[in-house]
Amino acid sequence: MKIDREPRDTLPRAIGYIYAANGGLEGFHAIRVGRRDLRAFCERQGLHLTACEDDTGASRASRRAVLNFLTSGGAEVLVVPAPHHLSRNGWYAAGVVRRLLRRRQHVITCDGSFDSRTQSGRMMLSLMSVFARVEREHAVPTIH
């Protein structure tokens, strides 16, 4: 049975971002699996995955490229496997999400943590922002 699908140009455009803490073969495998999962997730959500960027190890250079791509209007949705892929720093992640929402762009996690297209997802993002603020206020300065 053949199902007619909407043309790709009418689907919301998404960009994926994957972060693997480990480099080498383990990181390569994690990113390969992550890309496959992102593609399948976008297909189920009715999103056209226009690009997928990845970072391994300590460097997060591709994250800046993804955010620039979103700023330039290359996509309407940022898809990440889980919230910690965006950043382990809650304050930074909350800032990124706020900037995207101001531009009427969305953030979705494949693990179901949040989807800013829904009311409950926006509520979770608001809670994340509150916790990030509290975390920042109570952070102990690091002595070097």
For the stretch 53-112, pLDDT in tens is 988 766 677 888 888 899 898 899 999 998 888 877 777 888 888 888 889 999 999 988
Mean pLDDT of 115-141: 81
User: What does the pLDDT read at residue 129?
Assistant: 78
> E strands within 40-127?
48-56, 77-80, 106-109
Instruction: Give the domains, in start order, of the chain with CATH numbers.
Output: 10-137 (3.40.50.1390)
Q: How confident is the model at residue 131 (pLDDT cuts 50, 70, 90)?
A: confident
User: What does the pLDDT read at residue 143?
Assistant: 58
Question: Cα–Cα distance between 50 and 45 in angstroms, integer?
Answer: 14
Mean pLDDT of 39-54: 92
Question: Cα–Cα distance between 22 and 54 in angstroms, integer?
Answer: 12
Among 103, 35, 36, CA closest to 69: 103
* Overall pTM > 0.85: no
User: What does the pLDDT read at residue 50?
Assistant: 92
Q: What is the mean pLDDT of the chain?
A: 82
User: What does the pLDDT read at residue 3?
Assistant: 40
**How much of the chain is in helix, strand and coil states, percent to nearest 5?**
50, 20, 30
Instruction: Give the residue, 71 or 139, on which the prediction is more confident.
Output: 71
Question: Cα–Cα distance between 97 and 74 in angstroms, integer?
Answer: 17
Question: Cα–Cα distance between 117 and 83 in angstroms, integer?
Answer: 16
